[in-house]
């Protein structure tokens, strides 16, 4: 189910009703949904397990609490830092991580870690060796040389 584009253009109240309906169907019928979205708050609301991808590669995976409360991959951290904070007191506590550079071509991705050209924590190994997925705690995996 691809929910991002069709739902994001809807009125906020209609969108909330659809998301609540999906959540109810998920609970009542024991449904499994595969959700692809850039709507991070919506993903947080609907998902039990979250996988974060960059240029077609899975860079982090874990349950929703693990990924949101303890993001490991630099790209996950960048994504979560981009969520708008409506209240001033929340913005003051919320560190915004900015990245520079152009998004590489998915047809000709960079060698090593695909995120290294934009990563604020990149090391020489990142451009040479593709990181393996490592489980840092039960069910929480990351593909990054920092771990």
Contacts with 146 (C-beta within 8 Å, 6 or more apart), sequence order: 72, 74, 121
Provide the sign of the torsion angle of the four alpha carbons 63, 12, 2, 85, taken in this order: negative
Residue 90 phi/psi, 5-degree rounding, is -70, -40
Contacts with 17 (C-beta within 8 Å, 6 or more apart), sequence order: none
pLDDT for the residue 9: 63
pLDDT above 90 covers a percentage of the chain that reads 59
Residue 121 pLDDT class (50, 70, 90 cuts): very high
pLDDT for the residue 127: 95
pLDDT for the residue 1: 47
Residue 12 phi/psi, 5-degree rounding, is -55, -40
Least confident of 28-37, 38-47, 88-97, 124-133: 88-97
pLDDT for the residue 119: 95
pLDDT for the residue 15: 82
Least confident of 28-42, 65-79, 81-95, 115-129: 81-95
Q: How far apart are CA 19 and CA 115, in angstroms?
A: 31
Q: What is the overall mean pLDDT for the chain?
A: 87
């Amino acid at each position: 189910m691809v929910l991002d584009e069709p739902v994001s253009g809807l009125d906020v109240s209609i969108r909330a009703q659809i998301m609540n309906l999906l959540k109810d169907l998920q609970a009542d019928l024991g449904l499994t949904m595969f959700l692809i979205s850039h709507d991070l708050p919506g993903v947080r609301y609907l998902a039990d397990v979250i996988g974060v991808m960059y240029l077609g590669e899975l860079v982090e995976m874990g349950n929703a609490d693990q990924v949101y409360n303890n993001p490991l991959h630099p790209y996950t951290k960048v994504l979560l830092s981009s969520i708008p904070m409506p209240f001033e007191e929340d913005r003051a506590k919320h560190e915004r991580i900015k990245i520079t550079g152009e998004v590489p071509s998915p047809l000709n991705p960079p060698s090593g870690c695909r995120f290294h050209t934009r990563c604020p924590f990149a090391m020489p190994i990142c451009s040479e060796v593709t990181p393996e997925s490592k489980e840092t705690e039960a069910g929480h995996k990351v593909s990054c040389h920092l771990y």
